[in-house]
Amino acid sequence: MFETLKPLPQDPILQLMQTFRDDPRPDKVDLGIGVYKDDAGNTPIMAAVHEAERRLLAGETTKGYVGPAGSAGYNDAMASLILGTDNALIRDGRTAVVQTPGGCGALRMAAEFLRLCNPATTVWVSTPTWANHLPLLGGAGLTIREYPYLNRDTLQVDFAAMLESLEGAKPGDVVLLHGCCHNPSGADLDLEQWQDVTTLIQRKGLLPFVDMAYQGLGDGLEKDAAGLRHLASQVPEMLAAASCSKNFGLYRERTGALVLISETASINQAATSQLLSVIRSHYSMPPAHGAAIVETILGDSDLTQQWQSELGGMCERILHLRQAFAEALAPAGDFSFIARQRGMFSFLGITPEQVRALREDHGIYMLDSSRVNVAGLNDKVLPQVADAIRSVL
């Protein structure tokens, strides 16, 4: 049976990782892989995470299963983090949160749940969007449509084109939105645009689905969630996927959450029972360790304050790098959009040939699309990277 299978081409990002590892040049710079890095080029473990793990190891008494929904304490903490403390949706029982294996698990379980609700579900995704959105959602059998999002000339949100395209969506269609720190462009909707999108979704009877993978790394925890919270307050039902990979640094722990908002508490109970059945038939129940770390941090005021301080420092560092990067590139053209954007990623707007020249001649690695991980820079390598980019321009 297996001999009929043909090898697939390697994922471009994984291939870039391998090429970077094989490059012997000591001054090579990795701006392709989408993980946060500190000034030393490492992806650190947060001090709050270290302390939470210490407490867990000291007090853990079992490795028993946590159940398909995961930890109730973690789910409650994530509901408050995403929707805000004392949110009426939580008080009224219209919200359910389930723990998932990372943001990817949340996206896929949402897709499987939507297919259960309606096998003919259509999901509208932005152009561009995170590459893994397409296999995660489309792989569940959902129909994928695209709406324009980024103006390739200005590298800013083409909001008029986005709204015009979504006018073609039909009642019951799903609209996937990035909660903040749009991946891969870094170009976010402002609050007024979120309000306009909310009005369109209400008028056309669409179902919003928000992917919140970077809360806290744009303008802070509260501001980054403002658009999602406004949308949630205005629509009868909604889905949201969240990840703790970036804002808690728990990449390999695969810690995420899926938020389900329904029109009434009774509808939410029925829908949640169906969602849990979907989860049970796929991976049965999520891993516990990462969620236990988050639950420990968010359940202790001192640890929460420490985590928020560390996360705030990461956010400020990214904002500093964006400003410095834009200024360093200014002699070669107008790159001020980098400073205006948020999160870890930006497109430089250069050609694949120029990207290749950066890689081959200067050891500067980024995706062929010219998407760079700004968080992969630091003050030491930034002049080197800027010089190389100016040279290929």
Q: Which residues are catalytic?
A: 130, 211, 213, 246
Three-state DSSP class for residue 124: strand
Phi-psi region of 254 (alpha: psi -120 to 50; beta: other; left: phi over 0): left
- What DSSP string describes 55-108? HHHHH--------TT--HHHHHHHHHHHH-TT-HHHHTT-EEEEEEEHHHHHHH
Q: Are 326 and 336 in contact (CB under 8 A)?
A: yes
The DSSP bridge partners found for residue 242 are 212, 257
| Residues belonging to the chain | 393
Residues 232, 242: Cα–Cα separation, whole Å: 14
Burial per residue of 191-206, b for 16 or more beta-carbon CB atoms within 10 angstroms, e otherwise? eeebeebbeebeebeb
CA dihedral 304, 310, 312, 316 (to 10 degrees): 180
Per-residue DSSP letter, 17: H
Alpha-carbon span 374 to 326, nearest angstrom: 11
187 and 341 in contact (C-beta within 8 Å)?
A: yes
Q: Tokens standing for 234?
A: 């205005």
Q: Please tell me the chain's helix, strand, coil percentages from 3-state DSSP, rounded to the nearest 5.
A: 50, 15, 35
Is the separation of the CB atoms in 127 and 158 below 8 Å?
no
Q: What is the DSSP string of 200-267?
A: HHHHHT-EEEEEES-TTSSS-HHHHTHHHHHHHHH-S-EEEEEE-TTTS--GGG-EEEEEEE-SSHHH
